[in-house]
Amino acid sequence: MIFKLFAKKRLFLLLFFLSYSKSESYWVRYGWQVFNSAGDARILSLGGAAVTDYGTAISPLFNPAASNRVGLHNINYTHQSRLAGMINSDLIGLPIKNFSKPFNLIILHEGIDQIPDTRDILLDFGIDGIPGTGDVGEGNGVLDDGERLDESKLTYFSQRQLGIHVSSSFEINSVEAGFAIKTLYHSLDKYSATGIGLDIGFIVFPWENGRFGLTIRDVTTSWQVWDNGTVERFKPTIITGLAQTIVFPKSNIKLTAMSNMLLDAGGKMIDDNFRLGNYGGKLIFGLNAIYNNQLALRIGRNSIGSFTTGLGISWENLSLDYAFLNEPSGSGLGSTHLISVSVSADWVKNYIEQL
Residue among 35, 21, 168 nearest 110 (CA): 35
Residue 137 lies in a domain: no
Q: How many domains does the chain have?
A: 1
Residue 191 lies in a domain: yes
Q: How many CA atoms lie within 13 A of 222 on its CB side?
A: 29
Give the domain range for residue 289.
Answer: 2-118+154-354
Would you call 151 exposed, middle or buried from its count of C-beta atoms within 10 A (0-12, 13-18, 19+)? exposed
Phi and psi at residue 141, to the nearest 5°: 75, 10
Domain CATH code at residue 96: 2.40.160
Residue 273 lies in a domain: yes
Residue 142 lies in a domain: no
Taking the chain (355 residues) in consecutive chunks of 10 residues, what is each chunk's mean pLDDT? 44 46 69 85 94 92 92 89 76 85 91 76 72 72 71 80 94 92 91 92 94 94 86 90 94 95 82 80 94 95 90 94 79 74 87 79
Predicted pLDDT at 329: 54
SS3 string of the chain?
A: CHHHHHHHHHHHHHHHHHCCCCCCEEECCCCCHHHHCCCCHHHHCCCCCCCCCCECCCHHHCCHHHHHCECCCCEEEEEEEECCCCEEEEEEEEEECCCCCCEEEEEEEEEEEEEEECCCCEECCCCCCCCCCCCCCCCCCCCCCCCEECHHHCEEEEEEEEEEEEEEEEEECCEEEEEEEEEEEEEECCEEEEEEEEEEEEEECCCCCEEEEEEEECCCCEEEEECCCCEEEECCEEEEEEEEEEEECCCCEEEEEEEEEEEECCCCCCCCCEEECCEEEEEEEEEEEEECCCEEEEEEECCCCCEEEEEEEECCCEEEEEEEECCCCCCCCCCEEEEEEEECHHHHHHHHHHC
Residue 13 lies in a domain: yes
Residue 147 lies in a domain: no
Q: Are 273 and 303 in contact (CB under 8 A)?
A: no
Residue 103 lies in a domain: yes
Residue among 3, 27, 61, 26 nearest 235 (CA): 27
Residue among 71, 89, 72, 69 nearest 80 (CA): 89
Predicted pLDDT at 343: 93
In terms of DSSP bridges, do strands 155-172 and 175-188 run parallel, antiparallel, or are they unpaired? antiparallel
Residue 129 lies in a domain: no
